[in-house]
Amino acid sequence: MGKPTGFMEYSRKTVSDRPAAERIADFNEFHVHLDEKERQEQGARCMDCGIPFCQSNFGCPVDNLIPEWNDLIYRGEWDEAWKRLMKTNNFPEYTGRVCPAPCESACVLGINEPAVTIKDNECTIIDKAYDNGLMQPRIPTVRTGKRVAVVGSGPAGLAAADQLNQAGHLVTVYERDDRIGGLLMYGIPNMKLDKRLVEKRNGIMAAEGIEFCPGVEVGRDIAPQRLMEEYDAVLLACGSTRPRDLPVPGRELAGIHFAMDFLSSSTRSVLNGSAPEISARGKHVIVIGGGDTGNDCIGTSARHGCRSLKNFELLPKPAAARTAEYPWPVYPRLFKSDYGHEEIETVSGADPREYSILTKEFIGDGAGRVKALRTVRVAWKKERGERPTMEEIPGSEEEWPADLVLLAMGFLGPEAQVAESLGVELDERSNFRASFGEHATSIPKVFAAGDARRGQSLVVWAIKEGRLAAREIDRYLMGDTLLP
C-alpha cells in the first residue's frame, strides 16, 4: 500500500494530453506526465484494501505486484519499484502505454472513488528505469544448448523469447515484416507507442543473445518442417491476423481497406519518411467498427488531414457508468472518448460516432471507386437469459459520402498456412488448439501462444501467454522449470 490516508488526501490525477489541434500535426506521443511529487501522491492513493483485486483474475493478467510498487513509488524508491515490476512483466513500457488497464477497473478504491492511476504509475516506473540506465542487457551466463524457434514477433512471441533466452536456451525469432515487433510495431500507431522505444527494447534483447530474423515468412521463405528438424521446440505466436470482412454489395470497390492495412501503411510512412500507400488526406473517411483499432484509424486519419470522418458502430451506445450487467470488479463496457474521438471532435465540432447503424451497401462512382455508403438504423432487444437481437428500423435508410472506408471489425483467427503444413489442429474458432497453461499443440514439440491460440485479445494477455508458453517449453526441454 501507499500512504495509509493517501486515498483520502489526494484525488486521482492522470497524465494530461497535448491539445488535440496541436498533436494531430505530428505522430509523436502526446501524453504529458506528472512531476515526481505528483506521481508519488498518486502512488500514495493505493490503500490497504486487504484483498488487492487489481492482482486478481478480474485485474492484471500478468499478476503485477501493484500494491508493492505503488508503495515504493510513494516512498521514492524508484529502482526497487522497477525490480518488482520486471518480476512479472517483460514489457511494462508497452502495457504502461497501450493497456486498457483492467487492473484499474478492479481497484478496490474504485468501488466508490476514482481508482488508483495504476497504468500511469507503471509507465512512470519503466520510463525512469530507461532514463536512469537500469534497462541494460542481461546476458545469460549459462547456455543449455537447446534451440527454440519462435514464429511471430508480437508481444506473445517476444515475451516467450525473452523468458526462454534468460533460461539459457538459444532463441531465434522469425518475423515476416521488415521490422521486429508485430502488432507493437505496425498495429499500434506511433503516437500511442513510439517505435524508437520498440527498437530500443528489441536492441536490448538482441544484445542478450536472441536472434531476430525479420523479413522471413515461415511457409514461404523457410519451410515449417525445416524448423521442426533444426530446433528442439517451436512456438507459434503469429497472431490473429485474418480480419473480419463486410460482404455487402459494392465490397469490391477501390477505396475500401482493412484497418490494419491502413495503420501499417501509415506507420511505415512515418518510419521511412515517405508518403503512406493508403492516405486519408482530403477524403471523406468512414471507419466501420469501434474499439481500439477503430479509434487508431480515426486518430491516424486526423493526422493525415482527412476532409471528414464518421465512425459506425453496430452496437448501441454504451452506458456512462457501471450497470448491473457490469458490476465491480469486472471490466465494464462504458462510453468513453478516446484520443481519436477527441481530435475529430476538435476539428469538426462533433463526435464522429454513430451507434446502432448497419452498413447495407457500398456505392460506386461509376469508375470503380467507392463514393458513398448506404446504411440503416437498427434497434436492439434482449430478453432475459437470451442473446441480444437486432431489427432494422423501417424508414431509417441514409446515404453517407465516403471515398475511404476502413474496416475495423475485429479478427477471425490466425492464417492457416503454418498450421496446415505442420498438421496442427484448430479449435472451433479456427485458432491453434492448445490448452491454456500447457500451450502444447497436437504436434509434439510445437507450442502456441497469444492471439493465435486464444483469439484477438490484449497486449497484456499476449505477454501472459508468452510467459506461460515459455515455462512449458522450458519444462519440455529440461524436464522441469524455474521460470515464473
Q: What is the CATH number of the domain that holds 123?
A: 1.10.1060.10
Residue 173 lies in a domain: yes
Reported as a single tens digit per residue, the pLDDT across 371-418 is 999 999 999 998 888 899 999 999 999 999 999 999 999 999 999 888
Closest CA to 108 of 36, 49, 191: 49
Backbone angles phi, psi at 31, to 5 degrees: -80, 140
Q: Looking at the structure, tell me whether residues 262 and 346 fall in a common domain.
A: yes
pLDDT at 384: 82
The C-alpha cell 483474475 sits at 57
- Cα-based distances in Å from 459 to 96, 97, 308, 462, 465: 11, 10, 31, 5, 10
Q: Looking at the structure, tell me whether residues 200 and 225 fall in a common domain.
A: yes
Q: Looking at the structure, tell me whether residues 339 and 363 fall in a common domain.
A: yes
Residue 222 lies in a domain: yes
* 457 contacts 436 by C-beta, under 8 angstroms: no
The C-alpha cell 460482404 sits at 247
pTM of the model: 0.96
* 260 contacts 173 by C-beta, under 8 angstroms: no
Closest CA to 312 of 273, 353, 349: 353
- Cα-based distances in Å from 432 to 308, 415, 440: 40, 10, 10
CA separation for the pair 264, 369 (Å, rounded): 22
Q: Which domain, by its residues, includes 314? A: 256-407
The C-alpha cell 451506445 sits at 317
Domain end, chosen from 407, 434, 456, is at 407
Grid coordinates given for 16: 494530461
Amino acid letter at 193? L
CA separation for the pair 215, 200 (Å, rounded): 19
Q: Looking at the structure, tell me whether residues 220 and 120 fall in a common domain.
A: no
Residue 312 lies in a domain: yes
Burial of 395 (0-12, 13-18, 19+ CB in 10 A): exposed
Grid coordinates given for 98: 497501450
Domain end, chosen from 87, 106, 131, is at 131
Q: Looking at the structure, tell me whether residues 305 and 386 fall in a common domain.
A: yes
CA separation for the pair 151, 228 (Å, rounded): 12
Residue 251 lies in a domain: no
- The helix (H) or strand (E) run that includes residue 93 is helix 92-98
**358: Cα separation from own chain's centroid:** 26
Most distant CA atoms of the chain, gap in Å: 71
- CATH number at 209 reads 3.50.50.60
Q: Looking at the structure, tell me whether residues 270 and 287 fall in a common domain.
A: yes
Burial of 327 (0-12, 13-18, 19+ CB in 10 A): exposed
Q: Looking at the structure, tell me whether residues 300 and 389 fall in a common domain.
A: yes
Reported as a single tens digit per residue, the pLDDT across 283-316 is 999 999 999 999 999 999 999 999 999 999 999 9
Q: What angle do CA 356, 358, 363 make, to 5 degrees?
A: 145
- The helix (H) or strand (E) run that includes residue 351 is none
Residue 249 lies in a domain: no
pLDDT at 424: 95
Q: What is the CA radius of gyration of the chain?
A: 23
Backbone angles phi, psi at 143, to 5 degrees: -110, 140
* 171 contacts 210 by C-beta, under 8 angstroms: yes
CA separation for the pair 263, 422 (Å, rounded): 31
> Which regions in the chain score pLDDT beneath 50?
none
CB atoms within 10 A of CB 176: 19
Q: Looking at the structure, tell me whether residues 71 and 118 fall in a common domain.
A: yes
Dihedral of CA atoms 195, 198, 203, 204 in degrees, nearest 10, equals 150
Dihedral of CA atoms 256, 260, 263, 265 in degrees, nearest 10, equals -80
Q: Looking at the structure, tell me whether residues 392 and 314 fall in a common domain.
A: yes
pLDDT at 172: 98
Q: Looking at the structure, tell me whether residues 77 and 94 fall in a common domain.
A: yes
Closest CA to 464 of 442, 439, 428, 427: 439
Domain end, chosen from 96, 131, 166, is at 131
Residue 111 lies in a domain: yes
Residue 136 lies in a domain: no
Question: Quick one: residue 393, left, alpha or beta (phi over 0 = left, psi -120 to 50 = alpha)?
Answer: beta
Q: Looking at the structure, tell me whether residues 260 and 388 fall in a common domain.
A: yes
CA separation for the pair 183, 383 (Å, rounded): 38
Reported as a single tens digit per residue, the pLDDT across 211-237 is 999 999 999 999 999 999 999 999 999
The helices-and-strands tally (H runs, E runs) of the chain is: 17, 16
User: What's the total number of domains in the chain?
Assistant: 3
**478: Cα separation from own chain's centroid:** 32
Q: Looking at the structure, tell me whether residues 401 and 442 fall in a common domain.
A: no
Residue 141 lies in a domain: no
